[in-house]
Structure 1
Amino acid sequence: MLAESHPSLLHGEHAVAGRLTQFVGASAQSVALASGVSSWLARRQLSRRILMLHGVGGPKLPVADFKRAMVWLAQNFRIVPLDAMVNDIAIAKPVARDAELAITFDDGLRNQGRLAYPILQALGIPAAIFLCPGLIDNKQWQWNHEARARLNRLSPAQRNEWARAQQAPSAHIEALIAWLKQQPLQPRLRIEASLRDATPGFAPTAEEHAAYDPMDWDEVAALDPRLITIGSHTVTHPILSTLDEAGIQQELQASRLMLEARLARPVELFCYPNGSHDERVRRIATQVYRAAVTTEEGLVTEPVDIYAMPRIPVAAQLPLLAWRMHRPWA
């Protein structure tokens, strides 16, 4: 009765319960990892797996945690190139019991080349990296990375005022980024211009450079093609479902042509920016690429839609990552 009459007490009880549930879950995952239960549960499931990574080296995935994850995965799974997995799917090769796993990186960030690649190389782990050649050409961040950094420069009061002026439903940074991703291209570009006007003195910090800078072409060329498969992530990383068909075609077709001209080898795999796609995007993807991955969480189970392959999001905490190998949505 007391909690019902005092909402703050009820909220506090929910918060404590949530933290307790989280603690129990993390403890169970640690026990499952140490006992080998996590890998045993994964091996019981006859399915292929694709791991999804973005930046390496920041607070979300420190280098030491990335290395620990790669060592554990190499010990417990058969890590194969993504294009080899696609080949197996294309010929309807039965799923093997040796827990086939492909490693993928979105965005072509410099930290992937400088921090992740040497570890992959030392361990002999193949991976696919999805690049945006237009951003590499222009030494340009993805638009959402720049927007996030600029929003962080605004005080809460300034951000509230700016959000109201844009008629945004929220002034919280991640809510604003999510809202921007839903805008058609031209309105989004106008809103980005307004954000630049609101942050005239913006200069990236060293931490932001480390997190958001793309690889340059020399760094891409230094990746051993026997170990690293290059895929397309569009030319400029737009949200494809917000474009018209001509824009979708341009982003998909031009990206492949630009990458193949630079690398002098086929680029046949695609990754939807933000995982966003609709019937038009999928149809055009089937005309340009052999296969595509999404950001949908899941195992690659049969029957497989080769143009909408789900992935398992990485986690810095190895017990959680190991658990996700059989429960990707954990």
Structure 2
Amino acid sequence: MGYRIVVAGATGNVGREVLAILADREFPIDEITVLASARSQGDEVDFGETGRKLKIQNIDNFDPAGWDMAIFAIGSDATKVHAPRFAAAGCIVIDNSSLYRMDPDVPLIVPEVNPDAIDGYTARNIIANPNCSTAQMVVALKPIHDAAKITRVVVATYQSVSGAGKAGMDELFEQSRNIFVGDSAEPKKFTKQIAFNVIPHIDSFLDDGSTKEEWKMVVETKKILDSKIKVTATCVRVPVFVGHSEALNVEMENELSAEDAQKILREAPGVMLVDKREDGGYVTPVECVGDYATFVSRVREDPTVENGLALWCVSDNLRKGAALNAVQIAELLGRRHLKKG
């Protein structure tokens, strides 16, 4: 016996990935429906590779009563309107937007890291999915924190344009093509040219000079992993279509050698250690696309601080950073609270 599940935002990058992952992981479904805005009503989307087509309904007119859970990938503005409505009707919302992440009554979940926190969903009937860059980072940090107690993290991200949606991917493609043929590469989605360039600016600037993306990594890591960890981040957009990368520098309370860290990471849930210390013995964004794992490479000791490690972390941001994590939350919710049969 399965669940009655809603996917809202099914026409977007993340929504399509959610459908693909639900099908691929054979999530127990009795009934599924897909929602989007009025302009997409009547369109069809694929239910993964099952060959089944699903017809889009208008979310504004949809009655969520009687549905078990809804995975939202519709942005903060639409979520603000619809999430309370779904939750009040008894349909548990798993939200990919940033709207509820720091709400103290809404659990922020990465199942490999803080599964027990999901029990707090009953306060609002809403569960938040973290920022894409935060999700992969905490998966890599959790086993190290358990072993040696992390005190400080310095992270520089190299984030793909798919994190900015279809418009970001289109802009990278169009600018690259235009540069090759000598046409203009004026930015539209991004603040500067993204093709053959990097932009140290994601989301809006805050008063202290950091960006909102950097702030998210700080506060979300504290909420998910440990409120005592100090985090500083520099988030950079790079000309990669899919896959976020992160260079992590970690300081710990207790000593942990690179060799021991490798052993721990090799056994950690959600982590794939690829660290051969030779040409090509590491993972890049191109290689992580379509994979479920968070890949860790380049694990080494940092001799400039006491109890320091450096490592490289790569993951498909549309999967672990969004769709996969949302489906894993749905699986966890089902196992712990919505058992069928």
Q: Which has the higher contact order (CA 8 A, sep 6+)?
A: 1
For normalisation by structure 2, the TM-score amounts to 0.30
Greater helix proportion? 1
Higher alpha-carbon Rg: 1
For normalisation by structure 1, the TM-score amounts to 0.31
Greater strand proportion? 2
